[in-house]
Amino acid sequence: MNNTVKLRAFAKVNLSLNITGCDEARGMHMLDSVMMSVDVFDTVTVAERNDKQINVKFIGTDLVPAENNTAYKAAKAVQDIIGCNGFDITVEKRIPIGAGLGGSSADGAAVLRALDVLYKLPQLGVNMRKLALFVGSDVPFMLTGGLARVTGLGEELFFIENKLKLFTVGLMANPVSTAAAYKKFDELHKDCKHCPTDTDKLCNLLLDGDNKAIEHLGNALYEPAVYFSPEIAKNTELLRSYGAAVNLTGSGGMTLGYFTDIQAFYECYTALKGVGARVFAPAPTGVLHERM
């Protein structure tokens, strides 16, 4: 048997990101967020070794330390639980780093899915949701993907059928450290809460396929992100000038303009592609894989 699996690990966007409190015991923020998979992806290849060593190689970037990333963390967690051999992991980066698109979480989710394909982890007593949350708070969503309301520390997932056609233009600013953004948020919101959008309303409109859903986007980390990367505010206003409903994803630096009118979307992208605009479409899943 050739124990190698190759996967596509898709990015995500936050249609909403409310911060509802803090879990002081674990030092983490509680979220109420609507996440959607989009069609930009990393390619992750996982090959089993004959020894216990875990190697991670990145192609397309030198910004990610080989032993300080979610791909390594995911593989090591599985190895610690089931006592399997090590792996050679190759990550071909296409998801922009520091964009808030969940590239690191996508890589970790892809490794977990690959090892599930190889070992059938639930049959060995592994709780995939719990393991994914250990790897990272966005990883449980990325493991399945699609469209979901994600609450708590990322462990509570409520999947939604995507009935709304969304056309999306993204503009990248300087990356923002997620840790720095949350620290600044805590300085600005002493009660550790900020809910700029009505997630119940957003979810109901998405379920109905109602175009008004894009009027209910919001991100509690917008102000902290702009503090570190003022270009985010400029990109927000630029996208709005073309009629987009705008929302930051994650802690930035990607700002996304959403359209339900394909002609308005096309005009915006045509005007902005010269300044690095990218287009995104919803993806139905978080990870696609095939055995090699």
Distance CA 136, CA 119 (A): 21
- Among all chains, which residue has been given the structure tokens 């875990």? 54
- Rounded alpha-carbon distances, angstroms, from residue 89 to 7, 45, 108, 180, 186: 11, 6, 11, 29, 36
Residues annotated as catalytic are 12, 138
> In this predicted structure, what is the pLDDT of residue 2?
67
Q: What is the mean pLDDT of residues 230-250?
A: 98
Are residues 287 and 110 in contact, defined by beta-carbon separation less than 8 angstroms? yes
**Nearest-angstrom CA–CA distance, 286 and 282:** 11
What three-state secondary structure class fits 60?
coil
Which domains occur in the chain, in start order?
A: 4-160 (3.30.230.10), 167-280 (3.30.70.890)
Quick one: pLDDT at residue 65?
63
Q: What is the pLDDT of residue 24?
A: 83
Crossing angle, helix 70-82 and helix 128-135, to 10 degrees?
140
**pLDDT tops 50 at residue 267:** yes
Please report, rounded to a whole number, the percentage of residues in the chain having pLDDT higher than 70: 96
Q: What is the mean pLDDT of residues 76-85?
A: 97
pLDDT for the residue 27: 83
Per-residue pLDDT, averaged over 164-174, amounts to 96
**pLDDT per residue as tens digits for the range 37-53:** 999 999 999 999 999 99
Percent of the chain exceeding pLDDT 90 equals 92
How would residue 148 be classed by pLDDT, with cut points 50, 70 and 90? very high
- Give the tens place of pLDDT for each residue, 187-197: 999 999 999 99
State residue 1's pLDDT score. 45
- Judged by average pLDDT, the poorest of 15-19, 47-51, 97-101, 287-291 is 287-291
Burial category of 252 from C-beta neighbours within 10 Å (exposed 0-12, middle 13-18, buried 19 and up): buried
For residue 264, give every residue at least 6 positions away whose Cβ sits within 8 Å of its Cβ, in sequence order, or none. 242, 243, 244
Predicted confidence (pLDDT) at residue 292 exceeds the cutoff of 60: no
Name the band, by pLDDT with cuts 50, 70 and 90, for residue 20. Answer: very high
